[in-house]
């Protein structure tokens, strides 16, 4: 069951803009597809492995007002040629690093091993990665998109509707789609402001997670991540499509300084052939 969830979660991260950026849809449209190739989600946590997969399922459905794109659910409140207002729900990306780390062992034979812990751990404090437990949260809130000839700008304010950390995110992104007779591409750049409640829950420390002298804990400040993303589609037949996606995220300073993290940034990507049903 965890394997299936992992594949769907990776797809929701990598292909979240595919349906609305790279193809035209009408009310009532739906599709289920399966992509076979190679995908990786780097895990910036200390002493953990990257998440790797070879198969990615995907789906979308667009009704008159309701829509679903993998694990992103939405309801359209207003739509015009230049503006759309939605209520939207989506998985929180931070929780994936805790719920599914180590699952790559079931999917790849060559395990890369652990990475060294960050130097900021006090001498004598031993890090216990197996004791780190955080829950996956689901975020929901209002979203607005402005359509211009140059780009589309989207902003959203997402709250934890599952009561895991009771924090919120403010998201802002710029998107641009390109279409040719032989294929299509989309690029996106944006930032995500994460509240102190969210940052403290996912990246703060707990005394039971360390052996020996425990580093000083307490609440953490809010932090902002920045990212760029690209999607590339080339139809091969009516059902087969060559797909490639890449996303690079730079972690905010407060998150980077957490002793649970040993990378300043991380990469997620997939390349393969998708079959649509």
Task: Domain of residue 80: give its range.
Answer: 2-276
Which of 38-42, 55-59, 174-178 is modeled with the greatest confidence? 174-178
Task: Kindly report the length of the chain.
Answer: 277
244-274 pLDDT tens trace: 889 999 999 999 998 889 899 999 888 899 8
Q: What would the two tokens of residue 216 be?
A: 């000083």
Residue 255 · residue 263 · CB < 8 Å: no
CA distance 218 to 215: 10
Q: How many CA atoms lie within 13 A of 86 on its CB side?
A: 24
Q: Which two tokens stand for residue 277?
A: 């049903």
Least confident of 12-26, 29-43, 48-62, 136-150: 12-26
CATH number at residue 144: 2.40.230
**pLDDT over 60 at 17, yes or no:** no
Query: What average pLDDT score do residues 171-197 get?
Result: 94
Measured between alpha carbons, how far is 18 from 72 in angstroms, rounded to an integer?
12
pLDDT reported for residue 129: 57
Q: How confident is residue 103, by pLDDT bands cut at 50, 70 and 90?
A: very low
With tokens 């407060």, the residue in question is: 254
- With beta carbons less than 8 A apart as the criterion, state whether 34 and 58 touch: yes
Contact 207, 217 (CB under 8 A): yes
Q: What is the spatial distance between Cα 108 and Cα 120, in angstroms, rounded to a whole number? A: 31
How many percent of the chain have pLDDT more than 70?
A: 75
Q: How many domains does the structure of the chain reveal?
A: 1
Q: Which residue has the higher pLDDT, 8 or 74?
A: 74
Please give the Cα distance from 134 to 45 (Å, whole number). Answer: 12
The 10s digit of each residue's pLDDT in 114-161 is: 223 333 333 444 555 556 788 889 999 999 999 999 999 999 999 999
Reply yes or no on whether the pLDDT at 184 is more than 50.
yes
Instruction: Tell me the per-residue pLDDT of 204-240, one tens digit each, with 9 for 90 and over.
Output: 887 777 665 555 556 899 999 999 999 888 999 988 9
CA distance 165 to 159: 10
* Nearby residues of 227 by Cβ (< 8 Å), 6 or more positions away: 188, 189, 190, 191, 192, 247, 248, 249, 250
pLDDT at residue 212, rounded to an integer? 56
Please tell me the distance from the alpha carbon of residue 167 to that of residue 192, in angstroms, as a whole number: 13
Cα(first)–Cα(last) distance of the chain, in Å?
A: 23
């Amino acid at each position: 069951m965890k394997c299936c969830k992992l594949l769907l979660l990776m797809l929701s991260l990598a292909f979240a803009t595919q349906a609305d950026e790279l193809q035209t849809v009408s009310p009532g449209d739906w599709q289920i597809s399966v992509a076979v190739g190679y995908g990786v989600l780097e895990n910036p946590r200390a002493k953990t492995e990257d998440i790797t997969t070879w198969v990615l399922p995907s789906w979308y459905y667009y009704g008159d007002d309701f829509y679903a794109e993998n694990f992103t659910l939405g309801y359209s409140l207003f739509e015009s040629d230049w503006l759309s207002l939605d209520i939207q729900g989506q998985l929180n990306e931070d929780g994936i690093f805790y719920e599914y780390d180590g699952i790559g062992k079931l999917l790849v034979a060559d395990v890369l091993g652990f990475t060294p812990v960050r130097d900021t751990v006090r001498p004598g404090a031993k890090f216990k990665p197996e004791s780190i437990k955080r829950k996956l949260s689901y975020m929901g809130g209002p979203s607005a998109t402005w359509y211009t000839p140059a780009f589309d700008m989207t902003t959203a304010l997402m709250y934890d509707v599952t009561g895991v950390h009771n924090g919120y995110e403010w998201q802002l992104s710029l998107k641009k789609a390109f279409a040719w007779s032989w294929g299509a591409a989309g690029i996106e750049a944006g930032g995500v402001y994460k509240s102190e409640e969210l940052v403290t829950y996912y990246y703060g420390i707990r005394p039971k997670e360390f052996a020996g002298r425990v580093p000083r804990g307490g609440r953490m400040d809010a932090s902002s991540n920045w990212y760029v993303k690209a999607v590339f589609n080339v139809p091969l037949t009516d059902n087969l499509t060559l797909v490639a996606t890449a996303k690079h995220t730079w972690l905010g300073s407060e998150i980077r300084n957490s002793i649970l993290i040993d990378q300043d940034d991380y990469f997620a990507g997939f390349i393969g052939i998708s079959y649509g049903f």
